[in-house]
Amino acid sequence: MNIPLCTLTLSQHVGPLVRAIFRMPGASASAHDTDAIWWFIFWFDTLWFVFLMGIMIFWTIKYRRRQGHEAPIRSLTHNTPLELVWTIVPSLFLGYMFFKGFEAYAGKLVAPTDAQIVDIVGQQWNWSAIYPNGGAASEKTHVGNTDVPVIHVPVGRATLFRISSNDVIHSFWIPDFRVKFDAIPNHYTSFNITPEAEGEHWIFCAEYCGDFHSEMAAILKVVSEEEYQRILKEADTGGITGAALGKKIVEGAGGCRACHTIDGTRLIGPTWKNAWGYEVPLSDGSTIPADDPAAWDNYIRESIIDPGAKKRVGFATGAQMPSFAGRFSDEELAGIIAYIRSLSDKSTPTTPTTPTTPPPAQGAADTTGGAATDTAPDQPQADQKPPPGSGGN
């Protein structure tokens, strides 16, 4: 597939100032928020610059030294009302800028709970993506003198990018959505987007990462829901991935079940039944917050690689979990996370064919004993193909 470069990002008609600065208007609601506060600050600064420089030049000329005009012996030292005004009024404007900026930022960081998760991994020097059903994004397109991956997302619903790196620090940047986040080894970062329209957008690496940093690009292609489901089906290799892969590791080679159960009983380690998504008190007084997917995913990943890093109250002493650092690939770690997630009634599977239907209310899921687990507590979803778009990968 070959995308003519001019159709990327310049496809919409935009004014010259917007084009010079942003190339195109933002492609999501939170991008519009960012643009709005950006333009507010831009015009606010411009007006004040012109005004201040104007009166400065005017007074410099008006009060220049002239023959026959004596300079006053003393000048005014202060004027309280004036000083109050020039402190309070600008502070109000600064406060407005802060809150508007923060609001736009929070919109990008805090994903809707039914956001589908796409894993993004940076490595020198390309991006790879894994769709919610575990299939890898394999389409490429030729740009400049290199092939870059094409990552598909559906229009009109939220996609959370769970970002990490295989080597050095990269930064996953989608300029048209006005958002970027560092990709860090052994740690997840994330942001979410809800594209407003179908189209193609550049993805770049925004953290210098070596010789071919500037070629570390990709294309984000926003497509219709039907098209997206087709892409997912193609990407699904039929091999075992996601929660099914996690289940296999946990029960097999990983040996995790010696210490962790999935039915609520406690062995040496905590049970995973209804663990994910619930608050965990830690021995240093802090907590893993409830209902924070990124915090939980990081906690699981960290616990596997460096089990001593966060000690759970009630488990801190005695038998410690061995470190599994270096044992699992990123895909396997994502699988274990998806599996532990699927064991919790806090994971909210959504049906891919009707993305506009809200997920079942949390209360309803609770009374049925967990929507994710009520069919067969021992084989939660793991043997089925997990629905694309499910929070449980």
User: Could you say which of 32, 248, 312, 385 contacts ligand HEC (CB under 6 A)?
Assistant: 312
Q: Which stretches within the chain are classed as H helix?
A: 16-22, 29-62, 80-109, 225-235, 242-251, 293-305, 330-342, 362-367
**Three-state DSSP class for residue 346:** coil
Residue 170 binding target from ligand HEC, Cu ion, none, CB below 5 to 8 Å by type: Cu ion
At closest approach, how far in Å is the CB of 247 from ligand HEC?
Answer: 11
Closer Cβ to Cu ion, 203 or 222, answer by number: 203
Rg (CA), the chain: 27
Closer Cβ to ligand HEC, 90 or 281, answer by number: 281
Closer Cβ to ligand HEC, 33 or 297, answer by number: 297
**Cβ neighbours of residue 24 closer than 8 Å, sequence gap 6 or more:** 9, 10, 11, 12, 14, 18, 176
Closer Cβ to Cu ion, 124 or 141, answer by number: 124
Decide: 139 and 150 in contact? Cβ < 8 Å: yes
φ/ψ of 250, rounded to 5, equals -60, -40
> What is the rounded distance in angstroms from the CA atom of residue 37 to the CA atom of residue 50?
20
CA nearest neighbour of 127 among 146, 149, 147 = 149
Residue 315 binding target from Cu ion, ligand HEC, none, CB below 5 to 8 Å by type: ligand HEC
140-143 and 146-154 strand pairing: antiparallel
Closer Cβ to ligand HEC, 173 or 324, answer by number: 324
Q: Near ligand HEC by CB under 6 A, which window of 65-73, 115-123, 211-219, 316-324?
A: 316-324
At closest approach, how far in Å is the CB of 149 from Cu ion?
Answer: 14
Q: Is 333 in the site for ligand HEC (CB under 6 A)?
A: no
Q: Quick count: other Cβ atoms within 10 Å of Cβ 153?
A: 22
Residue 201 binding target from Cu ion, ligand HEC, none, CB below 5 to 8 Å by type: none
> What is the rounded distance in angstroms from the CA atom of residue 389 to the CA atom of residue 104?
24
Closer Cβ to ligand HEC, 91 or 320, answer by number: 320
> What is the rounded distance in angstroms from the CA atom of residue 153 to the CA atom of residue 159?
7
Closer Cβ to Cu ion, 213 or 327, answer by number: 213
At closest approach, how far in Å is the CB of 187 from Cu ion?
Answer: 16
User: Could you say which of 14, 110, 168, 321 contacts ligand HEC (CB under 6 A)?
Assistant: 321
Per-residue x/- track, 278-307, ligand HEC (CB under 6 A) = --x-------------------x--xx--x
Decide: 265 and 273 in contact? Cβ < 8 Å: no
Question: At what angle are helices 242-251 and 330-342 packed, to 10 degrees?
Answer: 90
User: Could you say which of 24, 209, 220, 336 contacts ligand HEC (CB under 6 A)?
Assistant: 336
The number of residues that bind ligand HEC (CB under 6 A) is 26
Q: Is 5 in the site for ligand HEC (CB under 6 A)?
A: no
- Which residue has 């996370």 as its token pair? 337
User: Could you say which of 315, 338, 365, 388 contacts ligand HEC (CB under 6 A)?
Assistant: 315
Give me 169's structure tokens.
Answer: 């620090």
Closer Cβ to Cu ion, 120 or 245, answer by number: 120
CA distances from 29 to 172, 176, 194 (A): 19, 11, 8
CA angle 322, 161, 139 (to 5 degrees): 105
At closest approach, how far in Å is the CB of 213 from Cu ion?
Answer: 5
At closest approach, how far in Å is the CB of 222 from ligand HEC?
Answer: 34
222-281: which residues touch ligand HEC (CB under 6 A)? 250, 254-256, 258-260, 268-270, 272, 275, 280
Interface contacts to ligand HEC, rule CB under 6 A: 250, 254-256, 258-260, 268-270, 272, 275, 280, 300, 303-304, 307, 311-312, 315-316, 319-321, 324, 336
